[in-house]
Amino acid sequence: MLPPALVLFDIDGTLIRRAGPHHRQVLEDAVRLVTGLAATTDGIPVQGMLDGDILAQMLRRCGLPRPAIRSSLPQIFTRAQRLYVKRCPDLRRYVCPGVRSLLHRLSRRQTVMGLVTGNLSRIGWRKMEQAGLRRHFRFGAFAESAQTRAQLAKLAVAEARRAGWIESSSPIVLIGDHPNDILAARANGLRSIAVGTGLADVEELRTYQPDLVVPDMRSLSVESIVC
């Protein structure tokens, strides 16, 4: 009997893409409602970033001092998540190619699946609900839980082990579309699979030397993931 595998997925650009402006908009609206500042995500390279880092950059560009940023972020997190849960549209048509089939095949193999994402938790789970993918994911590590994506991956692995879902010999894989996903996997000694469904193309992703890089998840078999 093979040990259960753990497969961790990024969300934006990996599971869904081109999902509209709603996520950016709730960050801007939450900042305005909590602080009164007209902050914007314009010019911030949000791909691969954690929501907390995006918000901190927005606030710094408005001239808010560091202590004020730290004290306001928890309220902004709460407000942004509430807004997104109300506003998130149907995302089923934004699911990346091959995702549904792959998740179904991994589920049939009784693979443990989780999320490692820069989204705040309620935003990430709402996206999965609206994309029709929620049932596949047992747990997740989200932006409010750590400072870096590598730390989030570490938390996810630790939770899976603590819960007894995986064994010490279980294969663990992180699938993402951004160089930061590859670097997070490497920092934790995880197998890294990069998909070219985000802004970074296959050639750029290949320069970061993931274990496997593919154009999209239609190119992935269960065996290629948990080998």
Tens digit of each residue's pLDDT (9 = 90 or more) over 167-226: 989 999 999 999 999 999 999 999 999 999 999 999 999 999 999 999 999 999 999 998
Structure tokens at 223: 């065996």
**Residue 53 — very low, low, confident or very high, per pLDDT cuts 50/70/90?**
very high
- Domain ranges in the chain with CATH number 3.40.50.1000: 6-17+94-225
More confident residue, 87 or 227: 87
Give this prediction's pTM: 0.95
Span 121-174, pLDDT tens digits: 999 999 999 999 999 999 999 999 999 999 999 999 999 999 999 998 999 999
Tell whether the model's pLDDT for residue 1 goes beyond 80: no
Query: What's the whole-number average pLDDT of the chain?
Result: 95
The CATH classification number of 6-17+94-225 equals: 3.40.50.1000
Q: What is the pLDDT of residues 92-114, one digit of tens each?
A: 999 999 999 999 999 999 999 99
Question: Domain 22-87: which topology?
Answer: DNA polymerase; domain 1 (1.10.150)
Cβ neighbours, 10 Å, residue 87 = 14
Q: Residue 2's pLDDT is what?
A: 67
Give the residue range(s) of CATH 1.10.150.240 domains in the chain. 22-87
Asked if residue 19 has pLDDT above 90, the reply is no
Banded model confidence at residue 44, pLDDT cuts 50, 70, 90: confident
Q: Mean pLDDT across the stretch 17-34?
A: 93
DSSP codes joined into one string, 89-142: ---GGGBPTTHHHHHHHHHHTT-EEEEE-SS-HHHHHHHHHHHT-GGG-SEEE-
Concatenated DSSP letters for the chain?
Answer: -PPPPEEEE--BTTTB----SHHHHHHHHHHHHHH------TT---TT--HHHHHHHHHHHTT--HHHHHHHHHHHHHHHHHHHHHH----GGGBPTTHHHHHHHHHHTT-EEEEE-SS-HHHHHHHHHHHT-GGG-SEEE-GGG-SSHHHHHHHHHHHHHHTTSS-TT--EEEEESSHHHHHHHHHTT-EEEEETTSSS-HHHHHTT--SEEESSGGG--HHHH--
- pLDDT of 48 reads 84
Question: Are 6 and 170 a contacting pair, CB within 8 Å?
Answer: yes
